[in-house]
Every structure is written in C-alpha cells, then in structure tokens.
C-alpha cells in the first residue's frame, strides 16, 4: 500500500514519475532553450556559467553609521550587492521622534529620517559600481530620491545607479501591513516612480513584486505565485492606464520570492512563475521586447521556517532553501542567519550565511550547467501542477475585477489565513515534522549569542533629526512641501517636488504627512 505524500501546496506526489506524467508533451519542444521564451529554463542562455547570482545579504539596524559598517564588512567578505532593511518608523513614514516611533527606532532595520542619515548610510560606498536593493514600500519613492541625492553629492550620475526598490504596496495590504495610504493613491505613487525612473534612473529596477511576505504570512507555494503575479498584472495595467507603453517600463520590473524547505516544489515554483509571466506579458499585454517578458527575481530563504529551538539546525534549512533558489534560476540571493528566530543576525551568523552561498556557488557544481533539473519527469510534472493551480487562482481574481478589488474584498488575505491555519494545525497534530520542535526535541542547551540592542541609539537618532530641523532653511522647506501638496491634488509626477523638498532637508515624516493630509490613511474594513 502506497503512503500518500503531498507538497506544501497539497499537490499529490506520486511514488515514481515517467514520461506519461507529462501528459504527452515533449520536454525539448515545450521547454525551449535557456534565455529564450518562455524562459522556463532561465532568463539567460548561460546562467551561472557566465556569472554567479548576486550574493546580496540583507542588512540594516540601529543608526546609519552602524549599518554602513555592516555593509563594508559584508563587501570585504565577498558580498556582491547591498541590501538594506529599514526600521518600522521609516517604513510607516514616521520620523524617529514621532510618538508612534517610540521603542521601534533602529529595531528591525536602520532609521532614515532625512538626507543627513542617507549620507551616513552610504558614506564611502561605490555607488557607481555596486547594486543596492532597498526593502521599502509605502515610502519607497522617498528612499530612492534620497539615494539619488547622495549619489549626486558624490558626483555619480543618476543614469549610472543600479539597484532595486521593493515598492510593492499591494502585498502590504495582503500580507504585511506597512501601508500608509489607501490602495488607489498608493498605486499612483508606484506608477509615478515608474515614470520618474524611466526619465532619470533608466537602470534602476522600479519595483520588486514580492511573494516573499505573502509566503511569510502563511501562503502555500501555489498561492505565492498566483498572488504575486496578480499584483504584477495590476501594476502593469495601472502603468498602461497612466499612459506608459508596456515596453517602456516592463523591462525594469523585477520580482522577489521566498524559498522554503520542499526542494523540488520550490524549484518547480520558480520555473512555473517564469513561464507564466512570459505568457502573461506576451498574450495579455502585447509586450514585444524580450526583456519585458523576463521574470527576473531575487530570492530570500524562508524566515518563517527558522526555529528558536536548536537554532544551528537553521544552517541546514537555509542551505536547502538556497540550493532550491539556485536550481530554480534566481538572479540574486539572500541567505538568512541561523539566529534570526532569536533576533537580528549577529556578525558570525551573517558570515556563515554568506559562506553558505559561496560554498554552493563555487564548490557544489550546480553552476556548471544551466537548469540542471530540467527535463526531470518529476520536476516538469510538478512545474505543470504549480502552474495549473496558480492559473486557477488568477482566473478567480480576474472575475473579481483584478488584484486591487480582490485585496479590498480580503480574498487573498482569507486564503492565506486558511493556509497558515492548516499548516499550524498539521504541526500541532504531528502530521508535519519540524525537527527540534515537534520531533527530536531536546532540553535547552547553552544559550545562543543574540544581537545586542543599544537603547541609546534612539536618543542619538532623535537628536540628529531635531538638529536637522533646527539648521535648515524652514521657509524653503515649507514652500517645497506646499509643492508636494499641490502635486498630490493634481496630476503632476509627485517625485519631482518630493526630491526638491528632500534636498532642502524636509524629513521623511514631513513628506509622508503631507501626503497623509491629502490622501488619508487606509483602515481595512472601514
């Protein structure tokens, strides 16, 4: 009698796979070549044979100075791209001295209140050559403009800047919660960023459409693909409606996915998403440029899979997840620190995480050939299964009027909540094994070193932002914020007056408050 096995998405796994499981199609005919439509096998013809994925370790904590030190440490140890985390006040559009920032300044990322902080964050970093990713959404345009202003200070032309802002506000309403304004004005800010970058930062990725946080909230792999691509469709539709031609902005769209422990489902997920996006852009939106059809993506290993119990086990989990991302064809990768279930990663944990990528890239042989699992009966059948499930979700979302309407109706949130509950119940019932938690558990051993939190950092940050306000030309700031307010009421691209205000040392909170006054704040269900 066969034992029933399923993936995390509930896809049944057969005991053995043969050509008959591919439903009569010829792999060579359907898959195409790497670097060619529909990009199932990868977006580049030679993939990692030519150049390894970008090793982009996520970092950010405390003040701009301390994060700048971590950036330099990682670059010295072989990291090939920067990735910045911001604290919750920065993500929510509050300055560090705002009452709602109390106790959160510098906790889950770096605090950035003004151009003064951004100058310290990026001090002595080679902005003309390094690529920088900023995980920021509601205030993404503000952080991008501050980055551009610092580059100008350093004599670096905007056209030379390369990197990514997450800027994916729709998934905040679905899974994460760091939104400020209602969905529709937030979408205007996203599209204004597309248009601004087309004109001023042509090599910048204007959005990283994120399934990562959808998965962290408890979704299945199939839901992660479906809801991420649904959000992508909504952004493309909004940009076209605003008058942008699809091939003008689509080449700068990028994606951000999670990687969990089910190795083969994760590989299949990445391959299915790439194929689906190529077809969506071609058949639904009429894209002509090949780069408009490519789903280029960053991957981060699964934070929600890490355990506080026996934390060293997380090194193995992260390795499996990173292997899945590389076998699935990621363009860049962040590997989590083994201690992140306990706090921010220590320097030791961050170095082990980076070394994990380097060992996979240089010692495992996975970079020697393109799409090494391509043509596997199991992987190809599983890729089809993931695609089928995700397409069924997209059809339902289209029937609701698209992603924004589905978000407003809480469809995606409810589906994720149901999946998260089912997984938690399976763990509680022992049907899903988590090593060290519900099986092979041990008494607590020696305590693991945790990242120290310096409570004096908040005081120093508050003093800095107050000093900025005291020393600036307040009349110039007031006039610049009035221009932002007028643009919010009208149809002008918002990023132009916002950059002017930030250059005059307006703070992130002041610019955000100006938009709050005009657009209001989003309250679900109200």
pLDDT in tens, 225-258: 999 999 999 999 999 999 999 999 999 999 999 9
Go through the domains of the chain in sequence order and give each one's CATH number. Answer: 5-362+370-428 (3.20.20.240)
Query: Taking a C-beta distance cutoff of 8 angstroms, is the pair 344, 66 a contact?
Result: no
pLDDT at 40: 95
pLDDT at 405: 94
C-alpha closest to that of 465 among 145, 115, 113:
113
Q: Is the pLDDT of residue 310 over 60?
A: yes
- Cα-based torsion angle of the residue sequence 179, 98, 512, 475 in order, rounded to the nearest 10 degrees: 180
C-alpha closest to that of 158 among 166, 148, 170:
148
Q: Is the pLDDT of residue 2 over 60?
A: no
pLDDT at 443: 83
**Cα-based distances in Å from 196 to 200, 496, 499:** 6, 8, 11
Query: Taking a C-beta distance cutoff of 8 angstroms, is the pair 212, 223 a contact?
Result: no
Query: Taking a C-beta distance cutoff of 8 angstroms, is the pair 207, 189 a contact?
Result: no
Task: Say which residue the tokens 């979700």 belong to.
Answer: 393
Averaged pLDDT for residues 1-12: 82
Averaged pLDDT for residues 478-489: 98
Averaged pLDDT for residues 506-510: 98
Q: Which residues contact 183 (CB under 8 A, 6 or more apart)?
A: 169, 170, 173, 404, 407, 408, 522
Averaged pLDDT for residues 327-354: 93
Query: Taking a C-beta distance cutoff of 8 angstroms, is the pair 400, 411 a contact?
Result: yes
pLDDT at 525: 67
Q: Is the pLDDT of residue 1 over 70?
A: no
Q: Is the pLDDT of residue 294 over 80?
A: yes
Averaged pLDDT for residues 426-447: 89
pLDDT band at 35 (very low <50, low <70, confident <90, very high): very high
Lookup: tokens for 161: 């800047």
Averaged pLDDT for residues 142-168: 96
Q: Is the pLDDT of residue 452 over 70?
A: no
pLDDT at 369: 97
pLDDT at 456: 78
pTM of the model: 0.91
Query: Is 193 strand, coil or helix?
Result: helix
pLDDT band at 62 (very low <50, low <70, confident <90, very high): confident
Chain segment 89-145, per-residue pLDDT in tens: 999 999 999 999 999 999 889 999 999 999 999 999 999 999 999 999 999 999 999
Query: Is 472 strand, coil or helix?
Result: coil
| Average pLDDT of the chain to the nearest whole number | 93
Q: Is the pLDDT of residue 28 over 70?
A: no
Query: Is 62 strand, coil or helix?
Result: strand
- Sign of torsion over alpha carbons 131, 134, 139, 143: negative
d(CA 308, CA 402): 39
């Amino acid at each position: 009698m066969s034992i029933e096995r399923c993936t995390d998405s509930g896809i049944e796994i057969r005991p053995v796979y043969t050509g008959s499981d591919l439903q009569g199609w010829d792999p060579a005919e359907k898959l195409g070549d790497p670097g060619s439509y529909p990009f199932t096998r990868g977006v580049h013809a030679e993939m990692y044979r030519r150049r390894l994925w970008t090793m982009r370790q996520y970092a950010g904590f405390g003040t701009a100075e301390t994060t700048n030190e971590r950036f330099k440490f990682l670059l010295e140890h072989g990291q090939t791209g920067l990735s910045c985390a911001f604290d919750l006040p920065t993500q929510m559009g509050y300055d560090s001295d705002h009452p709602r920032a109390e106790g959160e300044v510098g906790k889950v990322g770096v605090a950035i209140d003004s151009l003064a902080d951004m100058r310290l964050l990026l001090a002595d970093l080679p902005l003309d050559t390094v690529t920088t990713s900023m995980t920021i959404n509601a205030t993404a345009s503000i952080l991008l403009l501050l980055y551009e202003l610092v580059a100008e200070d350093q004599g670096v032309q905007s056209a030379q800047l390369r990197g990514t802002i997450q800027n994916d506000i729709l998934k905040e309403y679905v899974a994460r919660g760091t939104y400020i304004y209602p969905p529709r004005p937030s979408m205007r800010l996203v599209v204004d960023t597309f248009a601004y970058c087309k004109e001023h930062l042509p090599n910048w990725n204007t959005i990283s459409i994120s399934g990562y946080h959808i998965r962290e909230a408890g979704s299945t792999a199939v839901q992660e693909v479906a809801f991420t691509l649904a959000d992508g469709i909504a952004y493309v539709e909004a940009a076209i409606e605003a008058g942008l031609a699809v091939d003008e902005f689509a080449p700068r769209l990028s994606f951000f996915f999670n990687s969990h422990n089910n190795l083969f489902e994760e590989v299949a997920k990445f391959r299915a998403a790439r194929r689906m996006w190529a077809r969506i852009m071609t058949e639904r939106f009429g894209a002509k440029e090949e780069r408009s059809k490519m789903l280029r993506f960053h991957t981060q290993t699964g934070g929600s899979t890490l355990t506080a119990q026996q934390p060293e086990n997380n090194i193995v989990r992260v390795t499996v997840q990173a292997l899945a991302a590389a076998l699935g064809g990621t363009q860049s990768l962040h590997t989590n620190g083994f201690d992140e279930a306990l706090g921010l990663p220590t320097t030791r944990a961050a170095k082990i995480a980076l070394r994990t990528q380097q060992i996979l890239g240089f010692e495992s042989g996975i970079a020697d050939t393109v799409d090494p699992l391509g043509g596997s009966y199991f992987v190809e059948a599983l890729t089809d299964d993931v695609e089928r499930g995700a397409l069924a979700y997209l059809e339902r979302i289209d029937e609701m009027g698209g992603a924004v309407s589905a978000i407003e109706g809480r469809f995606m949130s409810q589906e994720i909540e149901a999946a998260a509950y089912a997984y938690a119940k399976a763990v509680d019932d022992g049907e899903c094994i988590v090593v060290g938690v519900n099986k092979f558990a041990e008494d607590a051993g020696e305590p693991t070193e945790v990242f120290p939190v310096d409570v004096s950092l908040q005081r120093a940050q508050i003093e800095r932002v107050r000093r900025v306000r005291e020393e600036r030309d307040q009349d110039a700031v007031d006039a610049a914020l009035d221009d932002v307010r007028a643009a919010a009421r009208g149809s002008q691209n918002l990023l132009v007056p916002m950059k002017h205000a930030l250059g005059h040392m307006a703070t992130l909170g002041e610019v955000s408050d100006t938009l709050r006054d005009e657009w209001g704040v989003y309250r679900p269900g109200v």
